[in-house]
Chain A
Amino acid sequence: MKSKIINMADKTSDAVDRLLASAFDAPPIADDGFSDGIISKIRRRIWVNRLALPVAILVGVAFALKPALQLINALLPLLNVMPVELASVPMQFMPQIQLIVMGGMAFAAGITLLKMLEET
């Protein structure tokens, strides 16, 4: 009798399983361009990320250029006020400073270019 009850319980459980399996059964959904849509979004996003830094730098430079030039213009007359020995010190190092700045910029541009090539 006990085993019969257990079997009945098992049978009931199987019936629920079968009902659920048939209710949840669904045919596969056709792609129909779904994945291509996501991939094109991702590609767009990659380009946006890639261009974000250079664009931000350009915008920053565009905004900062005018005030920076004004600052330089304002500071230039101070060189005449300074003692000649003191004013000549930065001028002595000017060629090296220019070289360092140019080298740094070339290095940064090279790294950005390599990174872009790697991601392509």
Chain B
Amino acid sequence: MVASQDAKAFGELIRRHQSQVRNFLRKLARDETLADDLAQDCFLHVWDKIHTYSGSGSFIGWVLKVAYTTFLQSKRKSKRYHEILEQAGHETDRAPVAIQNAPETELDLDTLLAALNEQERVIMIFSYACGLSHREISEATDLPAGTVKSIIHRAKERIRTQFEIENHQYG
């Protein structure tokens, strides 16, 4: 139904998946407004490319892959924009925008994510925030499933070491 470019059915799909996509992008971008703009772009890309969805994997996995690609494209554009500004001699404000009035769990998440490198962060968000399987993450990031598994393991070890989880209240 959606493949035949039915806007009404597509609206239903957006309603069903918007929360997960926006949550994913908010965690990646750390800026709610930017994340929502990216989510909008993501769904427009999904609309344009829906005919390429083979139906082999989960639909949300495929949508999150599009969301991740949209995020990377925006990041590249932003990087290029900052480079041009720097070349032009302007000062750039590259500090990430903090989420105001964020609940305590968000602050904990910031601390945890700060301990990880970019690749680990993305994969942990896919795994823990979106609940994707290793295979789905592998499809979304174009990494082998074994590599995904080892990155998750490495990230968990890093968190365990850095935050001394053995002595932590969770341990």
Is A18 part of the binding interface, using a Cβ–Cβ cutoff of 8 Å?
yes
Looking at chain B, what size class is its interface with the partner chain? 35 or more
Expressed in whole angstroms, the Cα–Cα distance for A28 and B156 within the complex equals: 25
Expressed in whole angstroms, the Cα–Cα distance for A45 and B47 within the complex equals: 11
CB contact between B14 and one of A13, A17, A38 (< 8 Å): that residue: A38
Query: Which of B3-11, B62-70, B78-86, B142-150 lies at the binding interface?
Result: B3-11
B156 contacts A26, CB within 8 Å?
no
A23 contacts B108, CB within 8 Å?
yes
Expressed in whole angstroms, the Cα–Cα distance for A28 and B19 within the complex equals: 6
In the complex, chain B residues whose CB is within 8 Å of the CB of A19: 112, 159, 163, 165, 168, 170
Which of B125, B159, B170 counts the most chain A CB atoms within 10 A?
B170
Expressed in whole angstroms, the Cα–Cα distance for A29 and B23 within the complex equals: 7
Closest chain A CB from B151 CB (angstroms): 14
Is B40 part of the binding interface, using a Cβ–Cβ cutoff of 8 Å?
yes
Closest chain B CB from A116 CB (angstroms): 13
Q: Is the interface of B mostly helix, strand, loop or mixed?
A: helix
B10 contacts A16, CB within 8 Å?
no
Closest chain A CB from B136 CB (angstroms): 16
Given contacts A15-B170, A23-B112, A25-B105, contact A35 B18 (CB under 8 A): yes
Bitwise interface map of A from 40 to 61 toward B, beta carbon under 8 Å scored 1, else 0: 0111011000000000000000
Looking at chain A, what size class is its interface with the partner chain? 20 to 34
In the complex, chain A residues whose CB is within 8 Å of the CB of B18: 29, 31, 34-35
Expressed in whole angstroms, the Cα–Cα distance for A24 and B47 within the complex equals: 28
Closest chain B CB from A80 CB (angstroms): 56
Is A85 part of the binding interface, using a Cβ–Cβ cutoff of 8 Å?
no
In the complex, chain B residues whose CB is within 8 Å of the CB of A34: 14, 18, 22, 36, 39-40
Given contacts A11-B171, A12-B165, A13-B156, contact A26 B23 (CB under 8 A): yes
* A positions within 8 Å CB-CB of B: 11-13, 15-26, 28-31, 34-39, 41-43, 45-46, 119
* B positions within 8 Å CB-CB of A: 5, 7-8, 10-11, 14-15, 18-19, 22-23, 27, 36, 39-40, 43-44, 47, 105, 108-109, 112, 124-125, 128-129, 156, 159-160, 163, 165-166, 168, 170-171
Return 27 A-B CB contacts under 8 Å, by A number: A12-B166, A12-B171, A15-B165, A16-B159, A16-B165, A17-B156, A19-B159, A22-B105, A24-B27, A24-B125, A25-B105, A26-B105, A28-B19, A28-B23, A29-B18, A34-B40, A36-B11, A38-B44, A39-B7, A39-B8, A39-B10, A39-B14, A42-B7, A42-B10, A42-B47, A45-B44, A46-B5
In the A-B complex, the 8 residue pairs with the closest CB atoms = A35-B14, A24-B128, A15-B171, A28-B19, A15-B170, A39-B11, A23-B109, A29-B19
